Amino acid sequence: MAIEDDVLVIGGGIAGATAALAAAERDVQVRIVSYKQSTLRNASGLIDVLGYTPAGDGPLADPFEALAALPEGHPYERVGSEAVREALAFFDEIAGDAYQGSHTDANALVPTHGGTVKPTARYPTSTAAGLASDDRDALLVGFETLPDFEAPLAASHLEATGAPFAARGVTVRFPGIVRDDAKITRYAHLLDHDEAVETADETRAGEPTAREALAETVRSHLADEARVGFPAILGDDRADAVRADLADRLGVDVFEVPMGPPSLPGMRLEDLLYEALEAAGVRVTTGVPVVEYETDDAEASATGPERIDRVIVDRNGAEIPHRADQYVLATGGLVGKGVRSERERVFEPIFDCHVPHAADRYDWFVDDVFGDQPYARFGLPVDRDLRPLDAVDDPEFSNLRAAGAVLGGYDFAAEKSGSGVSLATGYVAGRRAAEGCR
Amino acid sequence: MARDTEVLVLGGGSTGCGIARDLAMRGLTVTLVERGNLTDGTTGRMHGLLHSGGRYAVSDRASATECIEENEILREIAGHCVEETGGLFVQRPEDSDDYFREKLEGCRECGIPARVLSGREAREVEPYLADDVERAIEVPDGAVDPFRLCVANALDAENHGARVETHAEVVDLLRDGDSIYGVEVRHDSGPGKRTHATPGTTEEITADYVVNATGAWAGQIGAMADLEIEVRPSKGVMTIMNVRQVDTVINRCRPKGDADIVVPHETTAILGTTDEEVADPDDYPEEGWEVDRMIDTLSELIPILSEARTIRSFWGVRPLYEPPGTGTQDPTDITRDFFLLDHADRDGVSGMSSIVGGKFTTYRAMAEEIADHVCEKLGVNASCSTADEPLPGSETIETLEAGMDDFGLRSPVARRSKQRLGSRASEVLETEKPNPVVCQCEGVTRAEIRDAISQSGSDLNAVRIRTRASMGNCQGGFCCQNMANELHPTHDEETVREALDELFQERWKGERHALWGEQLSQAMLNYALHATTMNRDRDPANENGDVDFAAFDGGRSGRTRVDGSRRAD
């Protein structure tokens, strides 16, 4: 017996979750199957829409202005700029207080852990007080045991970007962290639970809590800055409470600077999406790969594209058929392994959809690491209904749509458009899939 | 006339550093200049094989004998740079029995311990060897870290009073009539430790005697004084796998050929190599088919290589030389012997000798001969002690290993740190401050990074070769930034930014040749981390900060001023 749904979404990142949520708004049964951990733990948690044009102009203060001029085949061009706005509104609804930026069309400039600034459309509330377009002076605080964020260097780099405020950095010891290589989650956990910690200050009666001790440590370094930034480790489940508590104790605003992997803001975004999926009644099966598909022979016509009847999911060696009316492929790009490669070819591993690429792998890259990299654009070409296209521009299947990083024709890293494309194409793919159900 | 130094050595590879150490230990004043980093030329671009001599046991028995002698010496004096892996010469069905027999006899005649293993025995040693491997000869090949060894020579030269100047390019030889008396160098950043972004200066360094140990670049140096030195640079590719498929050096037991060796090296295995003459040691094509040939041909010996992950490829040039008139066509036929060209005898120009040819394993013996020659020229009576005195880091490894604490690090990290640092481990790692891991792939801690910075300034590639940081799976994607962070505050922000960019580009240069499968995924992740998360590709700081900040979102409550009342809203 096959598992039956109306819409089956393959992939559980931003694009897959958004597609499932958008489909579930209609009266259809939706399921997500995902294999690997999503790549959100690598991501900053920011929602970039478009920070730079494909030609490199920017940073763009207004991303929407630039959408109309994108080249044919760009995922935003495929769905149209109105869909981008709708998808963002959809996200704003889901995210609620957890994200900000919806009050304006303008991009925000967010300080990064490397000390530069980047344009983004939506940012976690934990980041809001840190915006570089806000002109209050900032103190950045780093920790001796976290080599990823060198606060004095980041502060000095921020000033070099021309940011309109004075930034200063200090490095302190994180109270309660004994091991030099404690995991990021250990820092967050200490603050979430406000555990009692040992400090060097022996004159105190009893042991202070982690938040208390951290605020105490930072207070002595605070001059007249109006805000204090920390690496993004300020709590996991109770991040808002941790931040508010620190802010109260210090009497200034507190913000997080987004970090590289493992990224708590990315993981918090993942949690937020999965809570929404649960609330929307989407069924979620994780940790299983889709290994095969079967087409519906009866419906294959001489001229039209084939129709996917079912996919086969490998659950610990057992092959479980999953049948749906409509399918959304949101398996990610090269990082998420939705697009793969060998020495001679680049391919999409589940349905073997067409991935345009040069035959010689030495044409997949250019010599400047930040140059115009062909590999960064690898992915599926799609029609305006987001159906993957074969080498002669015909749809590969009649009931398959693709969304997110599995799409080709854009360089999300250079454009700062990754999560925006995932949201917009996920939203459209999910909605169309639901509409297409018989 | 008083000179700046008695001996001036040109070239900071294994030969140059070995000569500088030897002469400094004999009490001479020595200055060494190197255009880039130590090991920048051929030394840093080899496969890391410490020859047993087995490779030359048929074609060149003098070299084979010299190799086994030096092999044994280096195990003694440079234990922290050598891994005693052992080696196998492996015979496939299509490889000749006669050659196998000649190899075995050759080894025995040259004093190389050699033992024949059946195919099954060989697979017991190395389970991934192909099923049809017929038999193998076991020899004491080893793996050597050329970076660590070369740097240890330079450090010891400094310990004996030498001046070692990197990033100092020779722009002219100083010649007075028929006598060479020094060089003019251009400093990349002013003399001393390197600092990025400081303007270069030039300096004349005069010497009683000059040794041109620039290998494949020796001809270019000679040309500055109208001397013709016909080195024949020959390129070879090496491909690095992300894990060790073998723990023993695997050689193909057949006459010369491309792609016939796999050397386990730290966490990786290195496939080598090709041999193709090139015109210019600084500019030659690096092509995909060379990489493919490595993988395809060596997969005949170790089939899983065809599916394995490579993390980068690099090319090196050999400084081949043969006396004029020999006329060898194929570079693989050119001898690996070294030649000392005394320009007084050869060209009637005194004050300089050039060293060409040679091979890494015998660098110390070469240095000894050259140092003897220099001493004779200068009328100095001092003898060589480099075969007996351990290099820095290798003095008393066993006692330290036994007695050392784990420095509060998780054990695999501590173990690898100790291996890298050898007897310098306590000096470097004993710190009151937190010592987190900076490079996860290779387990390199902050203390090691800072130690390397104290040796080499803001050149993160010099830090890399001293520590192995950024040389693992991620090829620096995750740790370049953290390595650069350690430069601050000793170096200012702009210098750090430049140093980071330089290292990141250098890591990309080799990784480009491994862009498929897992490594292409890794490259995309690295790109995303640096471009998406950090916006390093469009950093406003690099574009003179002309961003109109006021045009961007300043937050929900609008732009605010520092007035102390913010939290009331």
In order of A191, A430, B88, the CA distances from A241 in angstroms are 9, 34, 63
DSSP B478: T
Q: Is residue B539 packed enough to be buried (19+ CB in 10 Å), middle (13-18) or exposed (0-12)? A: buried
Q: Which helix or strand (DSSP H or E) is residue A224 part of?
A: none
Residue B110, H or E segment: none
Q: Which residues of A touch B492 (CB under 8 A)?
A: 156
Reported as a single tens digit per residue, the pLDDT across B380-433 is 999 999 999 999 888 865 544 444 444 555 556 667 777 788 888 888 888 888
- CA-based nearest distance B561→chain A, Å: 6
At position A67, the amino acid (one-letter code) is L
SS3 B270: strand
Between A115, A369, A414, which is nearest B508 by CB? A369
- Give the C-alpha distances (Å, rounded to integers) separating A220 from A195, A224, A249, A270: 22, 11, 12, 36
A64 close to A90: Cβ distance less than 8 angstroms: no
Hey, are the CB atoms on B535 and A137 less than 8 Å from each other?
A: no
Strands B30-33 and B5-10: parallel
pLDDT of res. B189:
87
Are the Cβ atoms of A133 and B539 closer than 8 angstroms? no
* pLDDT reported for residue B563: 38
Q: Does B387 touch chain A (CB under 8 A)?
A: no
- Give the number of other Cβ atoms within 10 Å of residue B292's Cβ: 15
**Tokens encoding B274:** 């090709």
Q: Looking at residue B409, what is its pLDDT? A: 53
Burial of A343 (0-12, 13-18, 19+ CB in 10 A): middle
Tell me which chain B residues have a C-beta less than 8 angstroms from the C-beta of A161.
539-541, 545, 547
Question: Do residues B273 and B47 lie in contact, with contact meaning Cβ atoms separated by under 8 Å?
Answer: yes
Residues 313-342 of B with CB under 8 A from A: none
Chain A with chain B: Cβ pairs closer than 8 A: 247
For residue B402, the model assigns a pLDDT of 45
What is the distance between the alpha carbons of residues A39 and A330, in angstroms, rounded to a whole number?
A: 12
Give me the residues of B, 44-103, that contact A with CB < 8 A: none
What are B50's strand-pairing partners?
Answer: B142
Cβ pair A147, B480 in contact under 8 A: no
Q: Does B546 touch chain A (CB under 8 A)?
A: yes
Q: How far is residue A308's CA from residue A45's CA, in Å, rounded to a whole number? A: 34
CA distance A153 to A142: 10
**Nearest chain B Cα distance for residue A63, angstroms:** 11
Residue position matching structure tokens 């990197």: B166
User: Distance between CA atoms of B237 and B313, rounded to whole angstroms?
Assistant: 7
Flag whether residue B227 sits within 8 Å of chain A, measured between CB atoms: no
Is B556 in contact with A135 (Cβ distance < 8 A)?
no
Rounded alpha-carbon distances, angstroms, from residue B17 to A91, A92, A183, B11? 62, 63, 42, 8
Closest alpha carbon within chain A to B522: A335
Give, for B16, the enclosing helix (H) or strand (E). helix B14-25
Cα distances (Å, whole numbers) of residue B99 to B132, B141, B241, B274, B300: 18, 19, 29, 21, 19
Q: Which ranges of B272-423 does DSSP label H, i.e. alpha helix?
A: 288-298, 343-347, 363-378, 397-403, 411-421
Q: CB-based contact (8 Å) between B433 and chain A?
A: yes
Any chain B CB within 8 A of the CB of A164? yes
Instruction: Tell me if A120 sits within 8 A of B455, measured CB to CB.
Output: no
* CA dist., res. B236 & res. B240, Å (int): 13
Q: What is the pLDDT of residue B324?
A: 80
* CA dist B110 → B49, B104, B105, B230 (Å): 19, 10, 9, 31
Give the tens place of pLDDT for each residue, A230-244. 999 999 999 999 999
Report the C-alpha gap between B287 and B298 in whole angstroms.
Answer: 18
Residue type, B513: H
Contact: A376, B527; criterion CB under 8 Å? yes
- The answer to whether residues B409 and B425 touch, using CB atoms and an 8 Å cutoff, is no
Residue A121: name the closest of A53, A48, A69 by CA: A48
Interface probe for A, chosen from B429, B439, B485 (most Cβ of A below 10 Å), is B485
Of B406, B465, B451, the closest CA to residue A180 belongs to B406
Quote the CA–CA distance of B172 and B2 in Å, as a whole number.
Answer: 20
B417 touches chain A (CB under 8 A): no
pLDDT < 70: residue spans in chain A: 1, 200-205, 298-302
Q: Would the CA dihedral through B468, B474, B477, B478 be positive or negative?
A: negative
A96 burial via Cβ count (<10 Å: 0-12, 13-18, 19+): exposed
Q: Is A358 near chain B, with CB under 8 Å?
A: no
Chain A residue at shortest CA distance from B549: A133
Query: B472, B267 in Cβ contact below 8 A?
Result: yes
Distance CA A321, CA A311 (A): 6
Residue among A200, A188, A112, A186 at smallest CA distance from A150: A112
What distance in Å separates the CA atoms of residue A307 and residue A309, rounded to the nearest whole number? 6
Instruction: Measure the CA–CA gap between B386 and B152, rounded to whole angstroms.
Output: 12
Q: What is the ipTM of this complex?
A: 0.97
HSE-CB at B345 with a 13 A cutoff on CA atoms is 7
Residues of B whose CB is below 8 A from A116:
534-536, 539-541
Q: Are B222 and B354 in contact (CB under 8 A)?
A: yes
B434 neighbourhood in chain A, CB within 8 Å: 144-145, 173, 180
Spatial distance between the Cα atoms of B336 and A21, rounded to a whole number of angstroms? 68
A373 touches chain B (CB under 8 A): yes
d(CA B545, CA B31): 43
Task: Say whether residue A196 is in contact with chain B using an 8 A CB cutoff.
Answer: no
Q: Is B565 near chain A, with CB under 8 Å?
A: no
Q: Does A49 touch chain B (CB under 8 A)?
A: no
Q: What's the rounded Cα separation, in Å, for the pair A333 and A379?
A: 7
Burial per residue of B259-288, b for 16 or more beta-carbon CB atoms within 10 angstroms, e otherwise: bbbbbbbbbbbbbbbbbbbbeebeebebeb
- Across the interface, of B408, B438, B505, the residue whose CB is closest to A369 is B505
Residue ranges in chain B modelled with pLDDT below 70:
1, 396-414, 544-545, 557-569
| Residues of chain A contacting B535 with CB distance shorter than 8 Å | 51, 112, 114, 116-119, 416
Full-model pTM: 0.94
The sign of the CA dihedral B26, B31, B36, B41 is negative
Give the closest residue to B226 by CA, choosing from B193, B259, B178, B272.
B178
Alpha-carbon span A349 to A291, nearest angstrom: 8
Q: By three-state DSSP, how is residue A370 classified? A: coil
Q: Look at residues B518, B476, B533, B291 and name the one whose alpha carbon lies nearest to residue A339.
A: B518
